Chain A
C-alpha cells in the first residue's frame, strides 16, 4: 500500500515538475527575449569583425537582371546644380566671398541678380530660391537659440565635432584630387598592375579588404554614365566632361550611424560619425588599389562625390531606394551611409536585388508622416520622373530648411527619416525574422501585418514635435543614450 502511494506521489511530482518547468521555460523565454532586445550585439556594423559577417542577408534568391528603379524615358546625367550642396555652395560663395572681395549677391536680391547658370536653375525651379532664403533666416535663429540649448546638447555637439574634425583642413583624408582624373586617379601608383587570376578573384579580394577597413556592406558595379555628375569635376572645377574611361567599376561601401544616437535624432545624432568612417574606409581602399597598380578615386561624404551614390549602390546589389530617397538595405535599413571608389581594376560586378522595398514603401509612409519638413511625398506610387527614372523625389530644399531649424549649433542635419523607417531596426531575432521572411512573401500579406503592428504598437512623436518651440518641443524619435546626455555627467 505504502509503495503504491509512493509511486503515485512520484508521478504527481513529475506532473507538477512539468507544470513548474513550463512556467520556468516561459520565464526563460521572457528573459532571453529581454536580453535580446537590450543587447547591443544586435546593432549591425561598426566593426564587430573584419570579415564581412555583418553582410548577413542572403541576396542570392533576390538577384534581378535589371535594377528596381524604373526607366521611363530618355535619361541624362545629373547637372551639378541639381545637388543641393553644390547649389548652396555656389550661393554661399556669392554671399560670403574670400577676403578682399565684395559680395556678389545677397538675400535681399532676386533671381535675376544671380549669375548663370544659377539664374537659369532657379528660374526653372520656382520657389527653391525662396526656400533657400528661408533656410538662411532659420539658421540665424538657430544660432541665436543655441545658447538656450547648448547645455542640454553639449555632448552631442562635441561628439559631432569630434567626428567631423578629420574631414576638415589640409590634413583631411583622403586628399582632394588635383588635376584631371586621368592624372590624379593614377597619382601614387607604386607598381605596374598585378594581373588577377580572374575578375571574380578581384571582387572577392576587394570585398574582403574593404571589410577589413571597417565596411559593413560592400558591393561592386560597373559605373553607368547616368550617375556621373555633369558640369563639375573634382580636381578640375566647372567643366563639361565625359565619364573617364578608367572609371570602369565602383566598389560601393555602406556603414551605419551609431544606432542609439540615430534613434535620438534630430538633436542628438550626427551624420559625421558615419561620414568620417567612410572617408577612412574609401581613402584606405584608394591607397590599397594604387599599391597593387590600379587607378582609384574616392567618392566620399559629405560632398566629395563625382557620382550619385544611391543608384550606384542599387546597381551594386546593396539595396533599393525608398520613399525617403535613401538606400534601404536588408541589414541596415535606411541607416546606411555610402561611399565609393572608382577603379580600372577588372572586377566581377554584383547583381541588383529586389526585396520588395518599393512595394513596402507604397503602403508604409511613416517617413513622410514623421518628416518635420514635409519634404517626403505621400503619393502611393512614385509620381516623379527624375532624369528619365520614375521615383519618389524628396524636396531637398525643404529638408535643408529643417536642418537649419532644429535645436543644434548649426545645420547639422536631421536623419529622422532614417531612424523611423521600419527597416532600420536592430537585428535581434524578432526584427531579423521579419526582415528575412518578408522578401519571400510575394503577396505582401506578411509585410502588411508587420506594418499594421508597427503603426499600431509603436509610438511616433509626429512631424512637428521634432522642431524647437514654439512649433514643436525638441522631441527625439527614441530616447537619447546616457552617454549623450549632458545632465548625466555634469552639474548644470
Chain B
C-alpha cells in the first residue's frame, strides 16, 4: 500500500477540510464577481453537486483500486457525464436573475 496509507491518516482529512474551506471561500468570491444572486438553497444545490462529483471520482477510483479497472472507467465515464449534465442544469439555475455587470464572463 505504501504511499497510499496517507489516505487513512487523520492528517489527510484535516487537509481535505482546509481545502474545502478554501473552496467555499473562493466560491463566494467567484459568485460575487460573476454576479450570481446566491441564496442558501442555491449554495446547498452547489455543494450537493460538488459532493456528487467528488463521490463519482472517489467511486471510480475505488473500483480501480479493487482491480476492477474496466468497471472503474465505465463508472467514471457514466457518472462524470451525469455530473456534467447536472452541472449545466445547476448553472442555469444559479444564473437566474444574474447581475451581469462586472461579470468576467460577459
Contacts and interface: CB of A to CB of B under 8 A. Distances in A.
A24 interface: yes
A268 B59 CA distance: 28
A479 B68 CA distance: 10
A25 B67 CA distance: 23
B7 to A, nearest CB: 4
A33 B8 contact: no
B15 interface: yes
Which DSSP category, helix, strand, loop or mixed, fits chain A's interface?
helix
B67 A35 contact: no
B74 interface: yes
Contact of A34 (B19, B29, B50, B64): B64
Given A29-B54, A35-B65, A457-B71, A17 B22 contact: yes
A28 B12 contact: yes
Interface in B46-91: 50, 53-55, 57-68, 70-72, 74-75
Interface string A15-52: 11111011011101111111111110000000000000
B96 interface: no
A479 B67 contact: yes
B50 to A, nearest CB: 8
B66 to A, nearest CB: 4
Contacts of A211: none
B64 to A, nearest CB: 6
Interface in B9-28: 12, 15-16, 19-20, 22-27
Range for the number of chain B residues in contact with chain A: 35 or more
A22 B51 CA distance: 11
Contacts of B1: 35, 38-39
Nearest to A429: B62
Nearest to A478: B67
Sort chain A's interface into a size bin. 35 or more
A456 interface: yes
A429 B64 CA distance: 14
Given A33-B59, A458-B68, A458-B71, A28 B8 contact: no
A36 B68 CA distance: 13
A29 B29 contact: no
B43 interface: no
A96 B106 CA distance: 90
A455 to B, nearest CB: 11
B58 A30 contact: yes
A28 B65 contact: no
Contacts of B24: 18
B13 to A, nearest CB: 8
B12 A457 contact: no
Given A25-B20, A458-B70, A19 B26 contact: yes
A31 B3 CA distance: 10
A31 B58 CA distance: 7
A19 B75 CA distance: 25
Interface of A: 11, 14-19, 21-22, 24-26, 28-39, 426, 428-430, 453, 456-459, 478-479
30 contacts: A14-B22, A14-B26, A18-B24, A18-B29, A21-B20, A21-B22, A25-B16, A25-B19, A25-B23, A25-B54, A26-B57, A28-B7, A28-B12, A29-B55, A31-B7, A32-B7, A32-B16, A33-B62, A34-B62, A34-B64, A35-B4, A35-B5, A36-B62, A36-B65, A37-B61, A38-B66, A457-B68, A457-B75, A458-B70, A459-B70
Interface of B: 1, 4-8, 12, 15-16, 19-20, 22-27, 29-30, 33, 50, 53-55, 57-68, 70-72, 74-75
Given A32-B58, A34-B7, 6 more contacts: A11-B29, A29-B58, A32-B12, A36-B65, A37-B61, A457-B75
